[in-house]
Amino acid sequence: MQAEGPSVENSGLAALAVGLAALGAGYAERGIGSAAMGAIAEDRDLFGLGLILTVLPETLVILALVVVFVV
């Protein structure tokens, strides 16, 4: 016998994947952003590097969205 329980549609799993990717990106940005602000406070020439490193985790969410639309 097969256990009956709530089933999750494919769109629900896709939403979960994108949501978890966004959660992970936000968690990563928390540490990177605070470190970048500290580095920029010490040396203003590090602004460009800090900006790039802060935005980099957001590409994970964009890639997750691309995968959802491709699949």
- pLDDT number for residue 51: 92
- pLDDT number for residue 2: 59
Average pLDDT, integer, range 5-32: 84
Instruction: Show contacts of 25-34: CB within 8 Å, 24+ apart.
Output: 25/57, 25/58, 25/60, 25/61, 26/57, 28/57, 29/54, 29/57, 29/58, 32/56, 32/57
pTM given for the model: 0.70
- pLDDT number for residue 1: 55
- Residues 6, 71, 62, 20, Cα dihedral to 10°: 20
- pLDDT number for residue 40: 94
Average pLDDT, integer, range 12-30: 88
- pLDDT number for residue 48: 94
